[in-house]
A = this chain, B = another copy of it.
Amino acid sequence: MARAGLTTERLTRAGAELADEVGFDQVTVSALARRFDVKVASLYSHLKNSQDLKTRIALLALEELADRAADALAGRAGKDALTAFANVYRAYAREHPGRYAAARLRLDPEAAAASAGVRHAQMTRAILRGYDLEEPDQTHAVRLLGSVFHGYVSLEMAGGFSHSAPDSQESWSRTLDALDALLRNWPTP
């Protein structure tokens, strides 16, 4: 029989597409095999196991997200940078809900340290350079920004803001306004 040409690479990318189509937690080695018209066992030459597949999708998503964020940040500062960065997250989650969910997967410490998660943290700090925050306030602000971005996108994806006025887009804009104002006027107790 002709070979299917499977590689870990291709499987990971197909897994990411599958995640976007059916949801990250519906991503299964079996479904992936079906997609390649291949028997399930064949995937185990390329993937350690199901968890391995999920981790690879997560790492892929983190890279993509970091690449997009880096693009968006180029040449911007201050509120402009803040908004661009935030919009990348939100847009990515809308375009690629499965991948976005994958990016939230808990990685083991080694994987996390080697992942693009590190770049995300660096970019967030870069944005804060446009505001006047010393440590440890800068770290507090990094955490706050991460919380708002992830929290908002996550609630929005879960349908929390649909079917009620005002528009979610409006709340998003005003949230970014509010964060900008907050960072420019960070309270020191």
* Copies of this subunit: 2
Chain B, residue nearest A104 (CB): B158
**A143 cross-chain contacts in B, Cβ below 8 A:** 152, 155, 160-161, 168, 171, 175
Say which one of A39-47, A64-72, A134-142 lies at the interface with B: A134-142
Which chain A residues (80-128) contact chain B, with CB distance < 8 Å? 104, 106, 109
Output the residue of A158, A168, A174 with the most chain B CB within 10 A.
A174
The chain B residue sitting closest to A137, CB to CB, is B174
- Segment at the B interface, from A4-12, A14-22, A26-34, A177-185: A177-185
The interface of chain A, by Cβ under 8 A from chain B, is 25, 104, 106, 109, 136-137, 139-140, 143-144, 146-152, 154-155, 158-161, 163-166, 168, 170-171, 174-175, 177-178, 180-182, 185-187, 189
What are 29 A-B contacts defined by CB distance under 8 Å?
A25-B25, A104-B158, A106-B159, A136-B165, A136-B166, A139-B166, A140-B166, A140-B171, A140-B178, A143-B152, A143-B161, A143-B175, A144-B171, A144-B175, A144-B178, A146-B160, A147-B148, A147-B152, A147-B154, A147-B155, A148-B151, A150-B154, A151-B152, A151-B154, A154-B154, A177-B189, A178-B182, A181-B185, A181-B187
